[in-house]
Amino acid sequence: MPEILNMLIASVIPLLFILVYAVVILWVEIKVASHVQDRLGYMYTGGFHGWAQPIADLLKLLTKEHITPANSDKILFTLAPFVVFAGSYAAYAALPFTSTFIAANLNVGIFYIIAITSFVVIGILMAGWSSNNKYSLFGAMRSVAQIVSYEIPTALSILTVVIVAGTLNLQEVCQVQKGGLFNWNIFKYPPFMLITFLIYFIASLAEVNRTPFDIPEAESELVAGYHTEYTGMKFAMFYLAEYANMFLVSGISAILFFGGWDSPFGEFLSGPAWGVFWFVSKGLFFVFLQIMLRWTLPRLRVDQLMYVSWKVLTPISFVNIMAVGLWAILK
Amino acid sequence: MLNEFVKILLFLIISVFFVAGALIVNRFIRPHRPNTEKSTIYECGEEPVGNPWIRFNIRFYTVALIFLIFEVEVVFLFPWAVIYKELGLFAFIEMVVFLLILILGYVYAWAKADLEWDKPRPRYLEVSKLKESFMESKSEKVEI
Amino acid sequence: MQILGIGILTWIVFLPVVAMLLVLLVPKGRETWIKWISVVATGIQVILAVVMLLNYRYDLAGVNTLEGFQFVEKYRWIDVSGVAWFGRIVIEYFLGVDGLSMPMVVLTALISFIGAIASWELPKTKGYYSLYLLLDTGMMGVFVALDFFLFYVFWEVMLLPMYFLIGIWGGPRREYAAIKFFIYTLLGSVLMLLVMIGLYFSTSIIDPVTGEKIHTFNMLAMMDPRNYEPGSIFSGLHTTWRYIAYIALFIGFAIKVPIVPFHTWLPDAHVEAPTPISVILAGVLLKMGTYGMLRISFPIFPDGMVKYALPMAILGFINIVYGALAAMAQEDFKKLIAYSSISHMGYVVLGISALNTQGVTGGIMQMFNHGTITAMLFLIVGVLYDRAHTRGLDEFGGLANQMPKYFGIVIIAFFAALGLPGLSGFVSEAFVFLGAFQTYKWIAIFSATGVIITAGYILWTTQRLFLGQLPERWKNLPDINARELVTLVPLAIIVIFLGVYPSPLINLMNTSVNHLVRFVSEMGQAGVQLGILP
Amino acid sequence: MTEQFVIELTQSLKNFLPEVSLTITLSLVILLDLIFGRKFKNIGAFISLAGLVVTLFFTVKQYGGNYQIFRGMFVVDPYSTFFKFVFIISALVIVIFSLQSYELKETSARRRTGEYYFLILSLTLGAFLMAGSVNLVMMYLSLELVSISSYILAGYIKESERSSEASMKYVIYGALSSGLMIYGISLIYGLTGELNIYALNASLLSTGYSPIVLMISLLLMLAGFGYKISAVPFHYWTPDVYEGAPITVTAFLSVSSKAAGFAMLIRFLKASFIDRTVTLGVEGAWAIIQGLPWTEIIAVLSALTMTVGNIIAIWQNNLKRMLAYSSIAHAGYILMGVVVAQNYGISAMLIYFIAYLFMNLGAFYCVMLVAEKTGSEDIEVYKGLGYRAPFLGVVFTIFLVSLTGIPPTFGFIGKLYLFSALINAKVIWLAVVGVLNSVISLYYYIRVVRNMFLRDPESEKASIAFSPAHIVVMLILVIPTLLFGVYFSPIVELAQNSVAMFGLR
Amino acid sequence: MQADLSMLKNVGLEHFLIVSAILFSLGIYAVVTRKNAIMVLMGIELILNSANINFIAFSKYSTAELSGHLAAIFVIILAAAEAAIAIAIVLNIYKNFLTVNIDEIDNLKR
C-alpha cells in the first residue's frame, strides 16, 4: 500500500510543478517580451506588474465555450489534447529532479523520452487533421515535418552524450558529471561537446516549435496552426503541453550537458534539496533563453528550416559524433 | 523493472485524468450555445472554400522517408553507444563502416535534391499527360 | 569393325548428323546441294548396313549376353566419381546389334534412303533436310543403343524433328496432328523414363575397372536378376512394382506401335504428314514400339510379360480387327493406309505375345515387311496425291488404263498387304498365325478374320481406284515418273524376294529369337528360382 | 573478451569477402553514378560487371570451405557457395541484359540507371546472405533485403501502369507473407528459445516440443518461403509481377530470388527439422523429426504447385505471363527434391538450378529481344518469327524444349535427376505427377514453337536483324543448355560436392 | 489498489501471447477485408508487431538471453523499411491510377 502511495505521489509531483511553472512562465514570457520591445506588459491585475494576470487568463479559459467546428472528426478532435499532453507529461517520469528523486528510474531513460515525446507528434497531427481546417492541417503537417526533421540532430547529439556517459539512464548521466562545473559534459572534449550542445539546443527549439522555428503556428500565414479551431480548456491543454515541453527540453539540456542536479561548485551547496534547486534553475535558465530568443530572432522560412536541419545540423552531428568517438577511444 | 514502467503508466493515467478533469470542470462552468456561424471553420473571416482534407505536398513524404532512415539508424546506434567505451577502437571502426553506408544514402539523397524543400520543377506532369507521355515514350520529347 | 578408327555403328548413327551440319552450312540458293548431300548420306547408310550384313555372324544370339552382340562399342560417357552418400554414376555409350535389331537397322537405312529421295520436291529444303537427318540419327540410334539412357535420349531426339516435319510440311490439319503426335509420344516416353530410373536404382554391377559397386543403365545388366539389389524397388520376380513397371513400359511402347486405345494420334499424323514422313512414320517409327517391347520389356520384365501375355494377345487381336474394319470405312486413301497400318501392327503384337519361336519370328518379319510394304503404300498415295491433289477414293476410277505402270506397282503392294502367298506379307502373317495358334488357339482363329477383312478393303480399294469408268477430269493424269519409280521399285523387289525366299531374313534373327524366347519364357515362369540361365 | 571477439570477427571477415566485395561494389555504383553518371550513362553497369567478377573470384576461392562465421550467424559451406555461383552468374547475365534492354533505355528509368544496378546488386547481396544464413533473424533480414530490392525493381518504370501495379501487388503479398513468416519464427523461438537453427534443432531434440505449435509455425514460415519461391498457395503475385515488371527484372527474379528462397528453405528444413540422433540405413538420408511430417507437406505443395502452374499456363497469351506460370511449375519440380529428404535430392535440385538458370534466362532474353523488336509480348507476334529471325527462333526453341525437359538438353538432365531422386526414395506418386506435368507443360511451350515455325507471319514480314552482341549473349546461354545436356558429369560432380552443409551430414 | 498491483505482477507469458495473437488476428482481418492499400499495409504492420510482442515476451520469460530483443529491433527496422517502400509504391500507384483501392487495380489480369 505505501508503495502505491509513494508511486502516486511521485507521479503527481511533476504535474504540480508544471502547473506552477506554467503560470509563472506565462507571466515571465509576457514580461520579457514587453521589456525586449521596450514596453511594460501586464501592469494592473493583482498589483505588482500584473502578477495575477496568468491566473485570470486561466480562469477565463475555464469559462470559455467549446466550439467544435462543423464536419470535424469529433473523436479525434477531442482526443488530440489528451495525446499531446500525455506525451509531454509522461516524459517527465524519467527526469531526475534530484539525486534521490526520479519518478521512474529507467535504464533506458533518454531513449524512453525520445520515444514518448513522439506522442506529441501524433497528437498534433490528430488535431490538425480533425479540425477540418486548411490552416490547421497545414500547420500540423509542417509541425510534424519540422519535429521529425529535427529529431535527427537531436538524437545524434544525445547519442554523443551517451557515448561520453556510457549509459542511457538519466540519473547515471548526472552521476557521471558529478563534482563541479568542469566535470560537466559541456566542457569535455572541447569544443565538440559545446558544438553538440548547440546543435541540441537549436534542434530542441524546433522540436517544441519555438521561434525561430515556429512555422507551424506562424500567425501571419496560418492563423494559429494546428490549434486554430481549439477553444477553451482544450486550447489550454495545448498551451500547457507546449510549456511543459519547453521545460522538458531545457531540463534535458541541463541533464545532458550541465550536470543536471549537480552543483557547479562541487560539494558546495550540493545535496538532494539543493539538487532540485540546481536542476530547476538550470532548466528555467534555458526556458528563459528560449523566451529571449523568441523575441530577438525572426522566423525562418520552411525551406530554410529544412535546410538548417538536413544540410547543416545533421552533417555537423555526424562529424561531431565521429570526432567525439575517436577522441574517446584515443584517450 | 516492470515497476518502473508501471510508474510510467501511472503518469499517463494521471495526465489523462488531469486533462479529463479540466475538461469536466470546464463543462460545468462554460456556456454552450452553438450556432452555424460559430461552428463554421475559421478562415480569417471569409467563407470557407473547398475541402480542407486535401492531398499534401510530396515533400512531406520525402522528409518522412529520410527521417525513417536516420531514425532507424539511431535505434542501432544507441545500444552501441552505451558500451562504446568498453569496445574501444574496434567499435569505432564498425560504427564508421555502418555510418559510411548510411552517409552514402544521405549523400545520394542530397545529390538527388531530395533534401531541398522546393525543387526547381515538378518531377511529374499531371497524370493525364503522364499517361500520354508513356504512350509516346519513344519520341523522347516529353519530359517525365 | 571400325572405319577410320570409329566403330561402324557410330558411323551409321551419326553420319546423318554430320550431313545435317553440312546441310546447314550450304549457302542460300543451292537447294540441290542439300538434296544431294542428304541422299548421299542416307545412301552411305544403306551401304554401311549392307557391309554390316555381310559381316554379320549368324551364330551369335545377343539379347542378354554381351558376347552375343556384334559390332559392339562401349565407352564411358558420363562418369561421375562417387561420393559417400551416393555411389559412382556411370552412363555408357553402348551400341551393338543382334538378331532383333539387325533387320531394323537395315530397314531404317533403307526407308531413310527412300524417304530422302521421295522428299525431293518439298519446299524449305534446308530446314526439311536438316530435321530429316536428325530424325534419321534418332531412329538409327534407338535400334542400336544397348544402354537404356542412350536409348531414351535417341527415342526423344526423334520427337522434335518429327513434330516440325509434320507441323511445317504437313497437310491442312498439320498443327493438330503434330501436337497430338508429340504429346502422345511424350506421354509414353515419360512413363518409360520413370521405369528406366527405377531400373537404374534397382540394378547394380561391379565396375570392372575400379571394382566399385555402381548403378548402371546397361540393359544387359538389367536383364540379369542377380544384378538387382535386394530391397530395391524392382528386385525379385513377380512383385507388384514389377508388374506396374511392365504395364507402364508397355503403355509407353504401345503408344508408339500403336495399340488400340492409344492409337488415335496415328491416323491424324499419317494423314497430315507429307509423303516421305508418312513413309518414315509407318515404315520405321511404329516398329520402335514393338522393338522396344522385344528389346526391353520382355527380357527385363519376363515375369510381367508372361503374366500379361494373354491381354497383350487380345489387344493384338483387337488391333487387327479394329484397324481393318476402320480402314474399310475410310473414304480417304491415306487414312485407309493409316488404319491398315494399325491392323498390320496388330499382327506383330499378336505374334510376339505368343512368345514362341514362330510367333516372334513372325512378328519381327512382319515388322520388316510391313515397313517395306507400308512405305510402298504411302509412296503410292503420294504419287497419286501429287498429281490429283485429292485422296478421296470415290473420286477416282479406271486408273488402270490411264497409269499402267503405277497400277502394276500398286498391285504388288496391295497384294503384299493383304498377304497373298508369294509376297512377303504372306510369310510373316503365316508365321504369326502359326505361333499364335500354338499359344492362343481361339485368338489366332478370330484374328484370321482380320485377313479376310483386309482382303475385303484392299480389293474394294483396287476396284474403286483402278476399275470402272475414268472420270473426265483425270484424263490427263500422267503416269509414274522415274524418280518415283526409283523409290518404289527397290521396295517392290524386296517384297517379292522375301515372299519367295524369306530365309535370309529368318536366318538373320533366328538365333536371337530362339534365345529370347527361351530366356523370357523360362525366366517368366521360373518365378524366384534364379541363376538357371546361360 | 573484446580481444577475442575482434580476432573472431576479423577471421570472419576474411571468409566474408564475396559479400564485402559486393557491398563495396554497390556503394561504388551509387557513388560513381552520382559523380560521373551524367557523362557515362552505363557506368553503373560496368562497375557492376567488374565487381561481380571480383566477387566471383572470391567465391571461387571460398569454394570447399565449411565453417561458420560471425558467431553462428552465417556459414560458408559448399552448399551456399554453389548458390552464390548461381547468383553471380545470373546477376552478370542480367546486367548484360539490362545494358541491352529497351525498357530501361526508353523510359524515365534511363535517368536512374545507377539506382537500378545498385538494386540488382543489393538483391544479389541479399541472396548471398540468404544462402548462407543460419540464424532465423538473419534469414529473415536477408529475405527482406531481397524482397525490398525486388519490390522497387518490379516497379522500376514508374510511369508504366503495369510496372507500378506489379510492384504494388508484389509488396502487398510480400509483406504479408514475410509477416506470417516472422510470426512463425517468433513461435519457433518461443518453443525453443533459440534463433540459430542448429541450436534450435538441438533444443527441439533434447527438450521436446509440442508438434502442433511446431506445425503451425512451420506452416507460417512456409508462407514466407513459399512466397519467395512462388509455391502454390502463395503464388498469386507471380504472374502479375512477372508480367508487369521490366523483363530484365522478371528474369532476375525468376532465377536469383527463387534460387535464394530455395537455398534458404532447404537449409532451414534440413537443419531444423531432422533428427540427427537417428541414422538411417541409406547413406545421405535424413531422419525426419517426430510428429512433423514436413516432407509430406512439401510433397503436396510440390504437386499442387506444378499442376496449377502448368495448367494455368496453358491459357496464357502473354509470353511473360506464361513464363511466370512456367516458373511456378518449375518451383514445383524443384520442390520435389526437398521431398526426398536425402542428399541425392539436394544434388538433383542443384543440378536443376543450373539448368534452370541457363534455360530460363535464355527464354526471357528471347522474349525481351522479340518484345524490343516488335513491341509486344503477345504470342501473336511470334507468328512466323522462325522465318523472320531464324537464329532466334532456333535458340528460343532450344530453351523451350529444355524447359519442357526433352533430351538432349540440360533441362532433361535436371528433370532426370529430380525424378531419379524421387524414385530412389520411393515417392513414386509424386514422380508420376511430375512426369505427367512435363507432358502438360509441353503443350504450352510448344505453342510458342508452333507460332514461330508452323504459322506464317501475318502482317509484318520483314526479317529481324540482331546485333552481334545479341547473338553472343544468346550463344552464351544456349551452348551450356545443349552441351550440358549431353555431357553433364562436371555439373553433377559440382552438385554432388556442393550438398555439404555446415554441421550436417 | 493492492489487487491491481498483484495482478500486474502476475502478468505471465500467456497474457502476452494472447495479446499478440489478438493483434495477429486483427492484422490478418485487416489484410483480408480492407480494400485500401494503405489499410492493408497497416494490417501487415500489426502482424509484424504481434511477432515483436512474441519475441520480447519469449525472450523475457524463457531465457536470460537477449536474442529475442535483438530480433524485435530488427523486425521493427524492417517494418519501417518495408513501410517506406510500400508507401512509395502506393504513391506511385496513385499517380498512375488515381486510386489506391487494390480491387480496382487489375490491369494485368485482363
Q: Is the pLDDT of residue E6 over 60?
A: no
Chains that touch E (3 or more CB pairs under 8 A): A, B, D
Mean pLDDT confidence for E42-50:
92
Instruction: Among A201-215, C41-55, D289-303, name the one with the lowest average pLDDT.
Output: A201-215
Locate the chain D residue with the closest alpha carbon to C89: D489
Looking at the complex, does the CB of residue A236 fall below 8 Å from at least one CB of chain B? yes
Locate the chain B residue with the closest alpha carbon to A233: B23
Instruction: Give per-residue pLDDT as tens, A141-193.
Output: 888 888 888 888 898 888 888 888 888 888 888 888 887 778 888 888 888 88
Helix (H, G, I), strand (E, B) or coil at C205: strand
Mutate to test the interface with E, among D108, D164, D194, D241 (most CBs of E within 10 A): D164
**Amino acid C135: pLDDT:** 93
Task: Show the domain range for B95.
Answer: 2-139
Looking at the complex, does the CB of residue A1 fall below 8 Å from at least one CB of chain E? yes
**Amino acid D20: pLDDT:** 92
Q: Is the pLDDT of residue A54 over 90?
A: no
Q: Is the pLDDT of residue B126 over 50?
A: no
Mean pLDDT confidence for C455-472:
87
Contact yes or no for C185/C256 (Cβ under 8 A) = yes
B131/E96 CB distance under 8 A: yes
In angstroms, what CA-CA distances link D82 with D87, D132, D342, E54? 9, 10, 18, 35
Contact yes or no for D120/D91 (Cβ under 8 A) = yes
**Amino acid D414: pLDDT:** 92
Domain ranges of chain D: 301-505
**Amino acid A51: pLDDT:** 80
D161/B137 CB distance under 8 A: no
C-alpha–C-alpha distance, residues A214 and A237, integer Å: 18
The phi-psi region of residue A50 (left if phi > 0; otherwise alpha if psi is between -120 and 50; otherwise beta) is: left
Proportion of chain D above pLDDT 90, given as a percent: 48
Using a CB-CB cut-off of 8 Å, the residues of chain E touching A1 are: 1-2
Which range has the top average pLDDT, A11-15, A324-328, D259-263, E59-63? D259-263
**Amino acid C30: pLDDT:** 85
**Amino acid D479: pLDDT:** 93
Q: How many CB atoms lie within 10 A of CB D291?
A: 12
Environment class of C155 (CB within 10 Å of its CB; exposed 0-12, middle 13-18, buried 19+): buried
B42/A133 CB distance under 8 A: yes
Locate the chain C residue with the closest alpha carbon to D442: C183
Using a CB-CB cut-off of 8 Å, the residues of chain E touching A3 are: 5
Contact yes or no for E5/A4 (Cβ under 8 A) = yes
C190/D439 CB distance under 8 A: yes
Which triple of cell numbers denotes residue D503? Answer: 554441421
Instruction: Give per-residue pLDDT as tens, B14-24.
Output: 888 888 888 88
Looking at the complex, does the CB of residue B1 fall below 8 Å from at least one CB of chain A? yes
Assign C532 a pLDDT band (cuts: 50, 70, 90).
very low
For residue C229, give the DSSP letter: P
C-alpha–C-alpha distance, residues C197 and C149, integer Å: 9
Mean pLDDT confidence for A254-258:
88
The shortest C-alpha distance from D124 to chain C (Å) reads 30
Mean pLDDT of chain A: 83
Q: Which residues pair with C89 in a beta bridge?
A: C80, C215
For residue B66, tell me if it sits in a domain: yes
Mean pLDDT confidence for B46-72:
74
B near A: at least 3 beta-carbon pairs less than 8 Å apart: yes
Residue numbers of A between 153 and 172 with CB closer than 8 Å to B:
155-156, 159, 162-163, 166-168
Instruction: Give per-residue pLDDT as tens, A299-321.
Output: 887 778 888 888 888 889 988 88
Q: Is the pLDDT of residue B142 over 70?
A: no
Q: Which residues pair with C73 in a beta bridge?
A: C95
**Amino acid E1: pLDDT:** 40
C-alpha–C-alpha distance, residues A173 and A262, integer Å: 11
C182/D446 CB distance under 8 A: yes
Residue numbers of A between 298 and 327 with CB closer than 8 Å to B:
302-303, 305-307, 310-311, 314, 318, 321-322, 325-326
Q: Is the pLDDT of residue B11 over 90?
A: no
Helix (H, G, I), strand (E, B) or coil at C80: strand
Locate the chain A residue with the closest alpha carbon to B5: A104
Q: Name the residue facing A148 among B23, B64, B96 (closest C-beta).
A: B64
**B110: CATH:** 1.20.58.1610
One-character DSSP codes across D470-494: HHHHHHHHHHHHHHHHH--HHHHHH
Proportion of chain B above pLDDT 90, given as a percent: 0
**Amino acid B85: pLDDT:** 79
The dihedrals phi and psi of C3, each to the nearest 5 degrees, come to: -125, 125
The shortest C-alpha distance from A268 to chain B (Å) reads 30
Helices H / strands E in chain A, number of each: 12, 0
Give the residue carrying C-alpha cell 555381310. Answer: C54
A near C: at least 3 beta-carbon pairs less than 8 Å apart: no
Instruction: Give per-residue pLDDT as tens, E78-109.
Output: 888 888 888 888 888 888 888 878 777 777 66
Using a CB-CB cut-off of 8 Å, the residues of chain E touching B62 are: none
**Amino acid D85: pLDDT:** 93
Which triple of cell numbers denotes residue D159? Answer: 510511369
Q: Name the residue facing A329 among B6, B16, B92 (closest C-beta).
A: B92
The shortest C-alpha distance from C470 to chain D (Å) reads 37
Assign E64 a pLDDT band (cuts: 50, 70, 90).
low
Task: Please count the CA atoms within 13 angstroms of the CA of C18 that sit on its side-chain side.
Answer: 11
Q: Name the residue facing E95 among B75, B76, B127 (closest C-beta).
A: B127
For residue B144, tell me if it sits in a domain: no
B42/A228 CB distance under 8 A: yes
Interface A-E: count of C-beta contacts within 8 A? 6
**Amino acid C43: pLDDT:** 93
Instruction: Give residue E17's Cα distance to chain centre.
Output: 14
> Which H helix or E strand runs over C71?
strand C70-80
- Tally the domains of chain B: 1
For residue D318, give the DSSP letter: B
Give the residue carrying C-alpha cell 516472422. Answer: D182
Distant-in-sequence, close-in-space partners of E96: CB < 8 Å, separation ≥ 6: B127, B130, B131, D159, D160, D161, D164, D165
C-alpha–C-alpha distance, residues C36 and D365, integer Å: 37
Mean pLDDT of chain C: 87
Helix (H, G, I), strand (E, B) or coil at A44: coil
Instruction: Give per-residue pLDDT as tens, C298-355.
Output: 888 888 888 888 899 999 999 999 999 999 888 888 999 999 999 999 999 999 998 8
**Amino acid B120: pLDDT:** 52
C near B: at least 3 beta-carbon pairs less than 8 Å apart: no
Using a CB-CB cut-off of 8 Å, the residues of chain E touching B61 are: 87-88, 91
Q: Among A248, A241, A238, which Cα is nearest to A280's?
A: A248
Assign E60 a pLDDT band (cuts: 50, 70, 90).
confident
Instruction: Give per-residue pLDDT as tens, D378-427.
Output: 888 888 888 888 889 999 999 999 999 888 899 999 999 999 889 888 88
Assign A220 a pLDDT band (cuts: 50, 70, 90).
low
Which triple of cell numbers denotes residue D505? Answer: 551430414
**Amino acid D102: pLDDT:** 83
Instruction: Give per-residue pLDDT as tens, C183-234.
Output: 999 998 998 999 998 888 888 888 777 777 888 888 888 888 888 888 788 8
Using a CB-CB cut-off of 8 Å, the residues of chain C touching D342 are: 85
Q: Is the torsion defined by CA of C120, C125, C126, C132 positive or negative?
A: negative
**Amino acid B139: pLDDT:** 39
Q: CA gyration radius for chain A? A: 20
The dihedrals phi and psi of C95, each to the nearest 5 degrees, come to: -115, 150
Q: Is the torsion defined by CA of A152, A153, A154, A155 positive or negative?
A: positive
Using a CB-CB cut-off of 8 Å, the residues of chain B touching A219 are: none
Using a CB-CB cut-off of 8 Å, the residues of chain C touching D450 are: 167, 175, 178-179
Q: Is the pLDDT of residue D109 over 90?
A: no
Residue numbers of A between 239 and 298 with CB closer than 8 Å to B:
none
Instruction: Give per-residue pLDDT as tens, D12-38.
Output: 888 899 999 999 999 999 888 888 877
Mean pLDDT confidence for C398-420:
87
**Amino acid B143: pLDDT:** 35
The four Cα atoms C248, C251, C255, C256 give a dihedral, to 10 degrees, of 70
Locate the chain E residue with the closest alpha carbon to D245: E108
Distant-in-sequence, close-in-space partners of D303: CB < 8 Å, separation ≥ 6: D332, D430, D433
For residue B79, tell me if it sits in a domain: yes
Interface A-B: count of C-beta contacts within 8 A? 202
Instruction: Give per-residue pLDDT as tens, C126-141.
Output: 889 999 999 999 999 9
Mean pLDDT confidence for C64-79:
85
The four Cα atoms A215, A216, A220, A226 give a dihedral, to 10 degrees, of 180
Assign E16 a pLDDT band (cuts: 50, 70, 90).
confident
Domain ranges of chain C: 308-526
The shortest C-alpha distance from D396 to chain C (Å) reads 14
B124/E95 CB distance under 8 A: yes
Proportion of chain A above pLDDT 90, given as a percent: 2
- E2-109 CATH fold: Helix Hairpins (1.10.287)
- Pairing state of beta strands C213-215 and C88-97? parallel
Q: Among D236, D219, D249, which Cα is nearest to D305's?
A: D236
Instruction: Give per-residue pLDDT as tens, D248-298.
Output: 999 999 999 999 999 999 999 988 888 888 877 777 788 888 888 889 999
The shortest C-alpha distance from E2 to chain A (Å) reads 6
Proportion of chain E above pLDDT 70, given as a percent: 86
Distant-in-sequence, close-in-space partners of D111: CB < 8 Å, separation ≥ 6: none
Strands (E), D358-480: none
In angstroms, what CA-CA distances link B47 with A221, B40, B42, B54, C167? 17, 8, 8, 17, 77
Q: CA gyration radius for chain E? A: 18
Alpha helices in chain B (DSSP H): 2-29, 36-39, 58-82, 84-87, 89-111, 127-135
Looking at the complex, does the CB of residue C199 fall below 8 Å from at least one CB of chain D? no
Assign D88 a pLDDT band (cuts: 50, 70, 90).
very high
Q: Name the residue facing E44 among D137, D141, D175 (closest C-beta).
A: D175
Interface predicted TM-score of the whole assembly (ipTM), two decimals? 0.85
Locate the chain B residue with the closest alpha carbon to A61: B26
Locate the chain B residue with the closest alpha carbon to D105: B138
Q: Is the pLDDT of residue C264 over 80?
A: yes
Q: Name the residue facing E73 among B6, B75, B127 (closest C-beta).
A: B75
Q: Name the residue facing D496 among C77, C86, C233 (closest C-beta).
A: C86
Instruction: Give residue C345's Cα distance to chain centre.
Output: 10
Q: Is the pLDDT of residue C35 over 50?
A: yes
Q: Is the pLDDT of residue B127 over 50?
A: no
Mean pLDDT confidence for B62-66:
80
Q: How many CB atoms lie within 10 A of CB C236?
A: 17
**Amino acid B1: pLDDT:** 45
**Amino acid A292: pLDDT:** 87
Mean pLDDT confidence for C424-437:
90
One-character DSSP codes across E7-28: HHHT--HHHHHHHHHHHHHHHH
Residue numbers of D between 58 and 97 with CB closer than 8 Å to B:
none
Looking at the complex, does the CB of residue D137 fall below 8 Å from at least one CB of chain E? yes
The shortest C-alpha distance from B72 to chain E (Å) reads 6
Q: Is the pLDDT of residue B144 over 50?
A: no
C-alpha–C-alpha distance, residues D286 and D503, integer Å: 13
